[in-house]
Chains A and B, each alone.
Chain A
Amino acid sequence: KQEVTQIPAALSVPEGENLVLNCSFTDSAIYNLQWFRQDPGKGLTSLLLIQSSQREQTSGRLNASLDKSSGRSTLYIAASQPGDSATYLCAVLPTGANSKLTFGKGITLSVRP
């Protein structure tokens, strides 16, 4: 059974810092991996989707990498801003006919002004 872990559960950084959020998964047989952002009281917003054949994806100040062999993904946020404060979740879609997205519990990021 695929398990997704995100450590630490919470992170606080000063504004302007470059930061890395980590995600690890137990089974490397994945179809894709996605990073989502969740603001308090809101739904999830997809940030980046990386196919299993890709190594990374970029969108603005965000860069997500994928290393299937080691079961890891990182979300890099450049020049963090208070508006980046939110919970960031990663989710993997295993291969297999009846697979479903498996989510980590998320990292709650606080960017201090």
Chain B
Amino acid sequence: DAGVIQSPRHEVTEMGQEVTLRCKPISGHNSLFWYRQTMMRGLELLIYFNNNVPIDDSGMPEDRFSAKMPNASFSTLKIQPSEPRDSAVYFCASSLSLRASGRPTDTQYFGPGTRLTVL
């Protein structure tokens, strides 16, 4: 298996531009997570999906952030408009959750991340 695939690996953009990050989870996994990592705040969960349905988006910083999972093999995280404080590494992770609640109780497999720089 190729593991979790994220694209692009690096993104440099100017303030105010729209940014779209993409994730392909491991085939057969039914839970998908978006995280953000910064030096100051460490690793933070932004949102997670179970069976393509958003379960918890309380970590999404503000309305400029949105995430979708149109099918089991693809998810996007969009920032519009982007700001310099959004600069971070964004990780996608997936897991096979055997629990109907969709709670993230199982081992998560992380992608390589997208390093976003907003100038």
Query: Which of B13-21, B62-70, B78-86, B104-112 lies at the interface with chain A?
Result: B104-112
Greatest chain B CB density within 10 A among A91, A93, A99, A101 is at A101
A43-B91, A100-B59 known; A89 vs B112 contact (CB < 8 Å): no
Rounded to whole Å, the gap between the CB of A40 and the closest CB of chain B is 11
Count of chain B residues near A, Cβ 8 A: 22
Say if the beta carbon of A44 comes within 8 Å of chain B.
yes
What distance in Å separates the Cβ of B95 from its nearest Cβ neighbour in chain A?
9
Contacts A103-B43, A105-B42: A42 and B104 contacting too (C-beta < 8 A)? no
| A43: B residues at CB distance < 8 A | 4, 91, 93, 110-113
Interface of B is mostly: loop
> Chain B contacts of A100 at CB under 8 A?
45, 48, 56, 59, 104
B73-103: which have CB < 8 Å to A? 91, 93, 101, 103
In the docked arrangement, what's the CA distance between A101 and B111, Å?
Answer: 17
Min CB–CB distance B94 → chain A (angstroms): 11
Give the distance in Å from the alpha carbon of A105 to the alpha carbon of B44 in the complex. 10
| A31: interface (CB < 8 Å) | yes
User: A45-56 toward B: CB 8 Å interface, digit per residue (1/0)?
Assistant: 110010000000
Interface 1/0 per residue, A1-23 and B, CB below 8 Å: 00000000000000000000000
Residues from chain A with Cβ under 8 Å of B111 in the complex = 43
Interface residues of B (CB under 8 A from A): 4, 42-45, 48, 56, 58-59, 91, 93, 101, 103-105, 107-113
Name 7 extra pairs, CB < 8 A, besides A32-B105, A91-B43, A97-B103.
A31-B105, A44-B93, A44-B110, A46-B109, A100-B45, A100-B48, A101-B104
